[in-house]
Structure 1
Amino acid sequence: MWVVWAWNPLILELLRPYRLLDLLIPGVVLGICAMVEGALLWIIFGLCLAQRRAELIESLMRRSQSELEKEPEDPRLEDVAGEKDSDDGR
């Protein structure tokens, strides 16, 4: 029982309107700052991932382009492309 009476002045002091506002305002401000910081970190993280993905796609495109340039052309492909369809009868 003496613990309740010992804490009672402290509880009353904290529950005074001006004292409660003194504690509430910094808490709200810190909470808003933490949310903004978290949102900014997620945005930066997303932008870094998007940039990394774009770099990977660009390197794959360059690699496939260089492989296409290295391959010798197959003469059979040109014959098939230039050949007329004999089934039409034209």
Structure 2
Amino acid sequence: LRQREAQVKFHVLLTSYELITIDQAALGSIRWACLVVDEAHRLKNNQSKFFRVLNGYKIEHKLLLTGTPLQNNLEELFHLLNFLTPER
């Protein structure tokens, strides 16, 4: 998204993991009311670029959807919970 395009008003934005990273400057400047992440197990590593990009966004409410919140170890679940409530 270009700066001018980011000023367009919208109620819902559907995007991909790749575009969230590519457009992080424009998307990161928006104060989001809600973020819904499908395939949220992709956030299981707090060192991943995707985790760091989304963690920098201003988001009031977060909802994570995944069929596999725990794939390898308990630490992955901790990172998902930490993304939801980093202040705890």
| TM-score range for the pair, normalised by the shorter chain length | under 0.3
Q: Which has the higher helix share?
A: 1
TM-score (norm 1): 0.16
Larger relative strand fraction: 2
Query: Which structure: larger Rg?
Result: 1
